[in-house]
Structure 1
Amino acid sequence: MARIFITGSADGLGLLAAKSLVNQGHNVVLHARNPERGKQAIDNVPGAETVFTADLSDIEETKMLAHEVNNSGAFDAIIHNAGVYQVASKTIFAVNTLAPYILTCLIHKPKRLIYLSSSLHLQGKPNLEEFKINTNHLSYSDSKLHVLMLAKVIARKWPDVYANAMDPGWVPTRMGGKGAPDDLQKGYETQVWLATSDDINTKVSGRYFHHQKERRHNPMADDITLQEKFLETCKMITGVSFPYSQGLRS
């Protein structure tokens, strides 16, 4: 069975993925924004191994989370599920873009990395020069393009890891709203599938999925020059360098 860490697993898709994975017999470590939500997460997934708490809008808390995760042992898969939508641009940038970057850089390399993007990334722009100065004009769509760029970077630089991004769809969670039209179950099943399945279709890297199928993505994510600028900019803002070389997975 696999050991899996899921960010933002106190509710929504992260919680549903955690429940599914525990029910399948996997060892799951949860994450929540604060201790109150952490207790809520453990109460909702009683079979989970433990829960870590950190506010991903805070760079230093995110760094500390990475160290806590490392101290708990190795992981087979990490699902970067946490995300925010209708909040200030600064918070969107911190949680959706910088937190996955920091955690990817600092947590020991797993066998699989899954990043939650969105179909809205198709409307996104890198805006790399903009977020060197300020983040007031960065959008949710931009942040979800950043996430796909990160998955593409890892696929290129870490050939021993399966790193992929996915669109769960517009599903009826607290973020998506009760009226969201897409299938909630299919939304979290793709995370679970990418994290644990032996299906040959999961043993790929740098791909973009929706409902367990590869989908069209924004071609800007494939631009290597933009990818390198993205890494440089994240390093400048966070003080965390991308580890170009890490030990191979077992």
Structure 2
Amino acid sequence: MTSTVLVTGANRGIGLEIAKGFAARGCKVLMGVRDESEGESARNEIPGNDVQVLEIDLTNPGTIKECIVRAEAVYGDIDILVNNAGILIDSSFEELAEADFEKSLQVHVKGPFLLCQLLLPGMLERNYGRIVNISSGWGAFTEGMEGPLAYAVSKAGLNALTKNLSNIVPENRNVKINAMCPGWVHTRMGGKDAPRSPQQGAETALWLGSLEQDGPNGGFFRDKKPIEW
């Protein structure tokens, strides 16, 4: 079976490496991007014909359903969803603007929720699906929630969404919903001092998106190993 994968934030960094990795595994890849021109430029870095750019703006919830309905009509059922799109607003509690806090929640929680709401029922009906939420140690209570407020709180929300949705998957269904922390990765968001490459950051997402039927559901992972929420 050839799986169809939707990766949000796929035009650069970890998302681009995830898209490359799934394409190399023979999957049909939908690169979810906010700017179609940037997506087309990034698409040129991925060999093969089964890679398409899908313009989707997670800060505009009204367009998400329309986008997915159109995508499935053209490209078929989406089997694997990687909620990778991210935003880092490095403002203190005192300086954080309400609009920026809301944008973080939209990108990291509301957007993934809406995508899951659209795609998870079909996965359950077809008895196959993988949802991978790219979170962060900054959103883990066990690691102190030490990141910038908007980022940490919204990533914690993404973790909560992951755990709650995984609870509704019956044990006999071949659907897996997990979250992961890629570590500190050298990307535009992570900065030049980050010790890990985007390829290293993508490895766990590729693993979670390709889990066998006996793989984990409802876990939080770093380097393919479980970590605490």
- TM-score, scaled relative to structure 2: 0.81
Q: Is the 8 A contact 1:4 1:28 kept in 2?
A: yes
Distance 1:209 1:199, change over 3 A: farther
The answer to whether residue 181 in structure 2 is matched with residue 167 in structure 1 is: yes
| Unaligned 5+ runs, structure 1 | 126-136, 218-250
Q: Is the 8 A contact 1:41 1:51 kept in 2?
A: no
The answer to whether residue 133 in structure 2 is matched with residue 115 in structure 1 is: yes
What SS class does the counterpart of residue 179 from structure 2 fall into? strand
| Structure 2: distance between partners of 1:184 and 1:11 | 9
**TM superposition shift of 1:106:** 1.4
**TM superposition shift of 1:2:** 2.5
Matches within 5 A, 1:70-149: 70-71=72-73, 72-86=75-89, 88-107=100-119, 108-109=122-123, 111-122=129-140, 123-124=144-145, 139-149=150-160
Distance 1:54 1:143, change over 3 A: same
Q: Report sequence identity in percent.
A: 30
| Unaligned 5+ runs, structure 2 | 91-99
**TM superposition shift of 1:183:** 4.5
RMSD of aligned alpha carbons: 2.1
Deviations 1:106-165 (A, max 9, x none): 12335111001100012459xxxxxxxxxxx96111111111111111211122220000
Q: Which residue does 2:164 correspond to in 1?
A: 153
Q: Is the 8 A contact 2:23 2:51 kept in 1?
A: no
Q: Which residue does 1:131 correspond to in 2?
A: none
Count the aligned residue pairs. 204
Distance 1:179 1:199, change over 3 A: farther
- TM-score, scaled relative to structure 1: 0.75
Spell out structure 1 runs of 4+ moving beyond 3 A.
197-200
Deviations 1:194-215 (A, max 9, x none): 1114395xx1111000010001
Q: Is the 8 A contact 1:32 1:41 kept in 2?
A: no
Q: Which residue does 1:216 correspond to in 2?
A: 228
